[in-house]
Chains A and B, each alone.
Chain A
Amino acid sequence: MRLVARLKNLNEIEKLINLRVDCFLVDTPLAVRAINKDLFNHLDKIKSYGKDIYFLLNKMIHEDDIEAVKEILKIAQEIGVTGIVAGDITLMVLADEFGLKNKVIYQPGTMNTSSFDNEYFFLKQIKGITISKEITLEEIQKIFEIKKTELSLIGHGYLDMFYSKRKLISNYFIYKNTSKNNIIGNDRFRLKEEMRPDSFYPILEDEAGTHIFRDKALNSFDEFLELKKGLDDFFVERIFISDEEYYDSIAAYQDRDLVEGFLRKYHDNYNKGFYYQYTEKLKGDLNEN
């Protein structure tokens, strides 16, 4: 199983290599919830370290984005990326034009929830799929049982749970008739719901819209050995996490002896997401789909 780290700057490459990271996930111009899109201008430098590179291209692809996607795919072809992490299967179709379909990792966040999704995308000959973030460990293990295509998981960090095209923070300040600078990309905004006063949900607005995240980061230390049995890639997310904590988390995944110290230091920030938590069906109403 490869350990995939999101790259934030060139200065940390050696640090991450020393932490035995297998692959760098690099923001492209069409990455959402990006860490540092400027890195895309330094691909030769990143490549010179000899590690695998994945491109992050997880925006919902609208008609106007198609040419930009193709430009990124040309660059992917030139530098020989190992993977293209896609939020939208439009990428699978466009990558095929460049002979890159087998590099695409379909990572919509939701949607990849069953063994059948694994089989479907195996038949489509893409590189792999990232298992959805809202399913249980038991369900993940069921997908492992008849594994076909490569499987991955975002197993650590603050996971997004909402992606809207609406600019909700900017609009709010317009509604309040208040001028507010530094909205786009500002990672210090948080939401508190009136009935849940102890939970703060990070909210981020970028060029593509608004994203809301879980109040606690996910950790998979206890599940890591089990996950290793079926996963090809384990993504370690770093948004809203300090560099120090991020490096500590990677070290703890590489060395089980460091987990206890990590949890002692950062425990309040973490939970187990949906690994042991079933969600109920069939109680909704209102909006149609």
Chain B
Amino acid sequence: MKTELLAPAGNLEKAKIALLYGADAVYIGGKQFSLRARASNFDLDTIEELINFAHGINKKVYVTMNIVFHDDDVFGLDEYLRFLDKLKVDAIICSSMVVVERAKAITDLEIHLSTQFSLTNSVLANYFYDEGIKRVVLARELSLEEIKEVQKQSKADLEVFIHGGMCVSYSGRCTLSNYTSLRDANRGGCAHTCRWLYDLYEGDELLSDNHDFQMSSKDLDATEFIKDLVETGVSSLKIEGRMKSIHYIATVVSAYRMLIDDYYHGSMRDLSFYQNEIKKAENRQTSHGFFKGDTTINEQLYNQRSEIPTKEFVGMVLDYDKIKKKVLIEQRNYFIPGDVLEIFTPDKTTIQFKVDKILSEELIELDAARHPLEKLLVSLNIEVPKFSLIRKVNYE
């Protein structure tokens, strides 16, 4: 069975983009019971719409219910689980045993164990498999060699994070945010206290300089390990980032889609090709995380926060008028006539063109595309599909 590429989606548009750009499945959070509830625009109707869309193109939708439940959080759980079951959600992702047991008792839902549980060995993977959990998401602290060892022994399917942000602590074991900000890290309130700036003291002696003791980790980039992970037999490769933009999701999903497909077709390109594709989207600095074993300073962020994307996202294609040869764009960033733009389609085709004129929907000529979400018309001789993304090439 081909290894699954699993993408995050904070709303319906992002979910559709992720699926169209190559994800085999998306994971979403509802407005309840999800660690990224704030990232969610998925009410029950939207979940239904997404499932119909995904199943219509033979793809899957997983729903995260990964908060650590307190007694008061259980209200409404059964009703929600029954609803997801009725919708034929492909799996739920959870970390509290109350969800696991209720889902087993009242639904036929497939259950995945969240990385929030920080599962680090095959003994536990097999325990949860015997408890009715089909898939476990491994802790991000595992090396490639450890993943191989777990895979060798595990009855449960394994899901491995390959790209995006990483908790500095073992996931689910941190209450820094609770204590410093009164925001519950394990119930969706994480204040990312681990990314704040600190001074280090030994006794009363200050050892650091100007708050330069930092714990932030670089984001994960596992392009280097995809071949090994696929050959190892893990079931799913997971991208992090339900809060990320559609451009980021399309770009990262598309790059990993190409990498996985190229591997299966025996036509892998140099890794720098895929890595450069990813760099076209906004990104923090990346590293291989724990894949090579214990982390070093190269996996930490010290005084540097962001990489500048190599290409700027300026809009999304809403429609194409074949007769007038005009593309209808929803603006996301500033561009002007004369700019060279690149259209990046879901089937990975790229088309470059120079912007001649920019027209409003009322056909008034504009000197610039200034307003986010404004609908604009631009001449283009080649038909491009809906959901194609547009980047500025001459970005500096």
Contact = CB atoms under 8 A, between A and B. Distances in A.
Interface of A: 60-66, 88-90, 92-94, 108-111, 113-117, 120, 132-135, 139, 142-143, 161-169, 171-172, 174-176, 180, 186, 188-196, 200, 203, 212, 214, 274, 277-289
Contacts of A88: 120, 124
Contact of A116 (B74, B146, B240): B74
Contacts of B149: 63
A135 B175 contact: no
Given A114-B70, A175-B297, A282-B189, A161 B202 contact: no
Contacts of B174: 110, 161-163
Interface in B232-248: 240-243
A241 to B, nearest CB: 16
Contact of B185 (A174, A284, A288): A284
27 contacts: A61-B124, A62-B120, A90-B123, A94-B123, A111-B186, A113-B186, A114-B74, A116-B69, A120-B101, A135-B70, A139-B70, A139-B72, A161-B174, A161-B175, A165-B141, A166-B215, A168-B300, A171-B296, A191-B199, A281-B183, A282-B37, A283-B38, A283-B189, A284-B38, A286-B165, A286-B190, A287-B165
B160 to A, nearest CB: 13
B169 A174 contact: no
Given A90-B120, A116-B74, A283-B191, 16 more contacts: A60-B120, A60-B139, A62-B141, A65-B121, A109-B173, A117-B97, A120-B97, A162-B169, A171-B297, A175-B300, A188-B202, A189-B200, A212-B176, A284-B189, A288-B241, A289-B66
A113 B96 CA distance: 9
B295 interface: yes
A168 B70 contact: no
A194 B211 contact: yes
Contacts of A214: 179
A62 B127 contact: no
A89 to B, nearest CB: 7
B178 to A, nearest CB: 5
A115 B101 CA distance: 13
Contacts of A278: 182
Interface string B170-199: 111111111110111111111111101111
Interface residues of B, number: 98
A62 B121 contact: yes
Interface in B54-72: 64, 66-72
B280 interface: no
Contacts of B388: none
B168 interface: yes
B213 A164 contact: no
B142 interface: yes
A79 to B, nearest CB: 23
Contacts of B170: 60, 163-165
Nearest to A108: B173
Given A116-B97, A287-B240, A192 B199 contact: yes
A279 B184 contact: yes
B98 A114 contact: yes
Interface in B10-36: 35-36
Contacts of B198: 191-194
Contacts of A139: 70-72
A110 B173 contact: yes
A188 B201 CA distance: 8
B190 A287 contact: yes
Given A111-B172, A115-B71, A200-B201, A166 B242 contact: no
B213 A281 contact: no
Given A171-B295, A284-B190, A162 B146 contact: no
B190 A281 contact: no
Nearest to B164: A288
B197 A62 contact: no
B124 A162 contact: no
B121 A282 contact: no
Nearest to A195: B196
A121 to B, nearest CB: 8
A137 B330 CA distance: 52
Interface string B151-166: 0000000000100111
A193 B120 contact: no
Interface stretch (B45-53, B79-87, B111-119, B347-355): B111-119
B203 interface: yes
Contacts of A110: 68, 172-175, 186
B165 A274 contact: no
Contacts of A143: 71
A120 to B, nearest CB: 4
Contact of B115 (A134, A174, A200, A289): A289
The 4 closest A-B pairs by CB, nearest first: A288-B240, A284-B190, A116-B98, A287-B165
